[in-house]
Amino acid sequence: MTELEDHLLKQINQQKDYFWHHVRFSAASEIFPKDQPISVLDIGAGAGVFGHLLKENFPQSTYSFVEPLSSLEKYLEETFGQESNKNNAKNYEFSDYIVLLDVLEHQEDDAVFLKDIVGKMSPGSKLIITVPAMPMLWSTWDEKFNHFRRYTKSSLRSSYAHLDVKEHFNSYFFIEMFLPCFFRKL
């Protein structure tokens, strides 16, 4: 078992208390309509924390996932149902929103990875991406969890610049963590 897989499996029991998932959920879900059902595909779902928060805050929503780690895939199927597993989906036309929450940095070729995802999306669906920021904050944490990179706004933008997508928002959030992360690195 990799350190990443072990870390994600531990989140199953810690999901209600793990602040980072709540921060990411709040940032990602700001654009979700409050008054209508939505369909969300969580690529790289990990322990499914986003799915739990989605169901809790948007009870009319439909949650599905793609998770490459088999131990987590099994847990997610047991939790959300086998029909929610979209690992073998030929397209993602069933989803209004696709979330990649701290997934892109694990891809050796992020541009090819995004091209595949965008190619499976239906027109009008939205892709929400969060990534670790600031290459200067690169640390053993990134190495431990098999990151290939950290991003700036412009480097993230360059990963999808070749695609036929319209950017709606590109920003840093949780900026108050910059100094603690910098000191942790030191």
Give the per-residue pLDDT at 175: 62
pLDDT per position as a tens digit, 128-172: 999 998 888 788 888 888 899 999 999 999 999 999 898 888 886
Domain count, the chain: 1
Distance CA 123, CA 121 (A): 7
CATH number reported for the structural domain that contains residue 178 in this entry: 3.40.50.150
Residue 124 falls within a domain, yes or no?
yes
Distance CA 114, CA 77 (A): 25
Residue 93 falls within a domain, yes or no?
yes
pLDDT per position as a tens digit, 24-64: 899 999 999 988 999 999 999 998 999 999 999 999 999 99
Residue 18 falls within a domain, yes or no?
no
Domain extent at residue 108: 3-13+34-185
Distance CA 88, CA 83 (A): 11
Residue 23 falls within a domain, yes or no?
no
Residue with tokens 């799915």: 51
